[in-house]
Amino acid sequence: MWDRLLTVYQLGVAGRVRLGFTHMQTLEQALGTLGSMQERLNTEQSSTGRELLRLSVVECKRTIVDSLRQHAWHAAWLLPAWKQESAVALAAVTSRLMCAIAARPGCLLRFVPELYLESALDMMHSARRAERRVWPDAEAICAFGMDAVIDAVCTLCGDARIVSPEAQGMLLQTSWVLLQEEVSRGMAVAYNAYMGCGGPATV
């Protein structure tokens, strides 16, 4: 039953989630590039160089507008509160399942489908980056179930039984992303307080 539910997610929602992330990354890169090009445009002395920079600025603005439009379209599915809550709940249950498997001795963890990990992390990132989040702060979203996902990332990152390069890459990338954002640092503090441990405070 759970496999079927996650498969439905992969077939129906996962594409929107990933495209939304892709367009958001493109938007962030284009905004950074636009700022540097405008600074160069203010100091460029050559008329040819200024014209090339002007054309580049116009193209960069088009990219920003298109990426923003595409991101808004693909992220719209997560605006309703019940969808955000469903995403975190599914991610939390899937994460607890993976942690329960990791707690068992032997090699069973090696055979956990990447579908589980990919779905849990996708849904976690979706709720974390929702533009109109249901939860007022990090403590609230952790209490709702985000702590289970962070716990799974902390647990599985250091587990030598995970030998899939794709799975390792997803875990490391998630850890790195969480460390880069202020909201995630707050979430990590809330997580450590909620779990009552000084555990891996790196996430």
CB 162 within 8 A of CB 168: yes
Is residue 202 in a domain?
A: no
Q: Which of 103 and 21 is assigned the larger pLDDT?
A: 103
Structure tokens at 37: 């090009």
Q: Are residues 51 and 134 in the same domain?
A: no
Has residue 188 got a pLDDT over 70? no
* Domain stop point among 76, 107, 124: 76
Residue 125: closest CA among 141, 102, 106, 103: 141
Q: Are residues 117 and 140 in the same domain?
A: yes
Q: DSSP class of residue 13?
A: T
Q: Are residues 146 and 167 in the same domain?
A: yes
> In which residue are the tokens 């307080």 written?
193
Q: Are residues 158 and 173 in the same domain?
A: yes
Has residue 198 got a pLDDT over 50? no
Q: Are residues 71 and 86 in the same domain?
A: no
Distance, in Å, from the CA atom of 178 to the CA atom of 184, rounded to the nearest integer, reads 5
* Domain stop point among 25, 41, 76: 76
Q: Are residues 112 and 158 in the same domain?
A: yes
Structure tokens at 189: 């503090």
CB 144 within 8 A of CB 135: yes
Q: Are residues 110 and 142 in the same domain?
A: yes
Is residue 121 in a domain?
A: yes
Distance, in Å, from the CA atom of 171 to the CA atom of 179, rounded to the nearest integer, reads 12
Structure tokens at 153: 């990332």
Q: Are residues 162 and 189 in the same domain?
A: yes
Is residue 201 in a domain?
A: no
* Domain stop point among 22, 54, 76: 76
Segments forming the whole domain that contains residue 67: 9-76
Q: Are residues 108 and 170 in the same domain?
A: yes
Q: Are residues 37 and 90 in the same domain?
A: no
For 28, other C-beta atoms within 10 Å of its C-beta total 12
Average pLDDT over residues 171-181: 76
Q: Are residues 43 and 55 in the same domain?
A: yes
Structure tokens at 169: 């890459």
Written as one letter, the residue type at 97 is L
For 62, other C-beta atoms within 10 Å of its C-beta total 11
Looking at the 3D structure of the chain, how many domains does it have? 2
Residue-wise pLDDT for 5-63, tens only, equals: 666 666 566 666 667 777 777 888 888 888 888 888 888 888 888 888 888 888 988 88
Lowest mean pLDDT among 5-9, 62-66, 119-123, 162-166: 5-9
% of the chain beyond a pLDDT of 70 = 74
Lowest mean pLDDT among 17-21, 140-144, 181-185, 194-198: 194-198
For 75, other C-beta atoms within 10 Å of its C-beta total 21
Is residue 200 in a domain?
A: no
Q: Are residues 67 and 91 in the same domain?
A: no
